[in-house]
Amino acid sequence: MSDCLLAGILGLDWRDFLLHLLNFVILVAIVGLLVYKPVIRFVRARRDEIREQEKTHDEKMKEAEETKQKYTSLIGSAEQEIAAKRKEADEEAAKRAEAALAEAKERAEKLLAEAEEEARQEKVKAVAAIRGEVAEVAVLIASGILDKEITPEENARIIDDCLKEWDENNA
């Protein structure tokens, strides 16, 4: 009955059926050997290559992150160094400014002392000159008094005349 079914539906007898089955198995074996195994090898090789690329990518990303951290650290230390040098330069400038100010004050004090000394010497000269002139005035006044007897009005007039003469000589 099974023979009838095969023969009726497919138009095959059992020998033809076994022969087609054998051909199918051989075809599957040949395709498996010639196509499937190379395709599987190619797929596995490609998978391994992709994994290797992922591994390399991960390593390079890790290196890049380390390099980024290194450069970030270097930038931070450079900024600190720049700030320290700026502070040093500011301190040096402040020291130089203080030194220049101190030198200027010292020069000013020296000039002031010299000016005071010069003024003192001028005062001494002026006092000496005035003493000489006062002595002359006194001699003139005394000579005017000795020449004649003088009343208080004449005395005032003589003194005024002597002072005028003295002013004219000094002017």
Confidence at residue 17, expressed as pLDDT on a 0 to 100 scale: 81
Task: With CA atoms as reference, report the closest residue to 139 among 114, 165, 118.
Answer: 165
Q: 14, 6 in Cβ contact below 8 A?
A: yes
Q: 144, 162 in Cβ contact below 8 A?
A: yes
DSSP H or E segment with residue 149 = none
Residues contacting residue 65 through CB under 8 Å, at least 6 positions apart: none
Confidence at residue 162, expressed as pLDDT on a 0 to 100 scale: 75
Q: What is the pTM of this model?
A: 0.38
Instruction: Give the mean pLDDT per block of 10 residues along the chain (171 residues).
Output: 55 80 92 84 94 96 94 90 92 92 92 90 78 64 63 73 75 62
